[in-house]
Structure 1
Amino acid sequence: MKNNRWLVTGGLLSAAAALLHLAIIAGGPDWYRFFGAGERMARMAERGSASPTVFAVSIAAVLAVWSAYAFAGGGLIRRLPLMRTALVLISAVYLLRGLVLIPALALHGGEVSAFTIWSSLIVLVYGIAYAVGTWWAWPALSGGRFDG
């Protein structure tokens, strides 16, 4: 079985992002601030609210599922339901989130936060990995066997 490096890379990136969201919980309010969750979320964490934790765990869970789909499409784990649909949607979400930088720059005359710039560029890389990997794996994604 030949592995699809693009999807494996995308899966590793999603897994790393999932772990980062869990680390943010452990890091506390300062980590929520640093990683762009916003002052409101950081203050809720300072007050001991469960909301920031629930939110971060929820995001981590979604990212873990997305990682599993990339690993399945990349030939590392068994096939998952709705492979093509899931990988196309995941690619689209990452690409659209990454491309949000363009209207943000246009609407704010180039004045956007460093977080918006960096997070958009990082997520755009994720989207490219998923999209290219999905394109390469497309023929094999409809059947039970991964051909490359």
Structure 2
Amino acid sequence: MKVKWSFILASILTSAGAILHIAIIIGGPDWYRASGAGNELAQMAESGSVYPAFLGSVLVLIFFGWAIYALSGAGIIMRLPLLKTGLVLIAFLCTVRGLYGFFVPVLIKTEYVVGLGIEFWVFSSLVWLAIGLSYLHGLRTNWSYIAGKEQ
């Protein structure tokens, strides 16, 4: 099986997201605000609550898990259980987040959404869309391996 670069790119981008979330946890309240996590989480972090760090850690684990699935889909590491289901779900979630983010500031006018600014929504949506499209392209070009028809 030929290595699929789209899955490698997806793994790199997803890992970068995990590393960014680690930096946000370490960076503290100002980083929570700058990342779009919101003032509420930043205030919790300022008051010493472990909840923002816990939530960020959960996201870190999810994103690194997704990156590992991308490497499995690329054929770089062993074939993981539920590979097809996992990669289809990851591709769907990333792509949907990438697409809906373009409409959020137009459709939802809450203080939180407006406060982040259109630049945040466009940039973050482009990043999520790039990740989702990388997973989708990997699925399309490597489907026989993903579906278990090729070893």
Shared fold (TM-score, shorter chain, > 0.5): yes
- Whole-Å Cα distance in 2 between the matches of residues 72 and 105 of structure 1? 36
Look up the SS of the partner of 1:76 in the other structure: coil
Conserved? CA contact 2:28–2:45, under 8 Å: yes
The offset of 1:115, in angstroms, is 1.4
Look up the SS of the partner of 1:113 in the other structure: helix
Percent identity at matched positions? Answer: 39
Q: Deviations over 1:76-128 (max 9, x none)?
A: 1110011111111000000000001343254269x753211111111000000
- Whole-Å Cα distance in 2 between the matches of residues 76 and 144 of structure 1? 17
Alignment partner, residue 35 of structure 1 = 35
Q: CA RMSD in A?
A: 1.8
- Whole-Å Cα distance in 2 between the matches of residues 24 and 141 of structure 1? 34
What code does the residue aligned with 1:27 have?
G
Alignment partner, residue 115 of structure 1 = 120
The offset of 1:145, in angstroms, is 4.8
Q: How many residues align?
A: 145
Look up the SS of the partner of 2:69 in the other structure: helix
- Whole-Å Cα distance in 2 between the matches of residues 79 and 87 of structure 1? 12
The offset of 1:2, in angstroms, is 2.0
- Whole-Å Cα distance in 2 between the matches of residues 142 and 101 of structure 1? 30
Is 116-125 or 99-108 further displaced after alignment? 99-108
The offset of 1:144, in angstroms, is 7.4
- Whole-Å Cα distance in 1 between the matches of residues 97 and 74 of structure 2? 23
Conserved? CA contact 1:79–1:144, under 8 Å: no
- Whole-Å Cα distance in 1 between the matches of residues 41 and 108 of structure 2? 24
Look up the SS of the partner of 1:78 in the other structure: coil
Alignment partner, residue 53 of structure 1 = 53
The offset of 1:69, in angstroms, is 0.4
Normalising by structure 1, what TM-score? 0.91
Q: Structure 1 regions of 5+ residues with no counterpart?
A: none
Normalising by structure 2, what TM-score? 0.89
- Whole-Å Cα distance in 2 between the matches of residues 105 and 40 of structure 1? 19
Alignment partner, residue 17 of structure 2 = 17
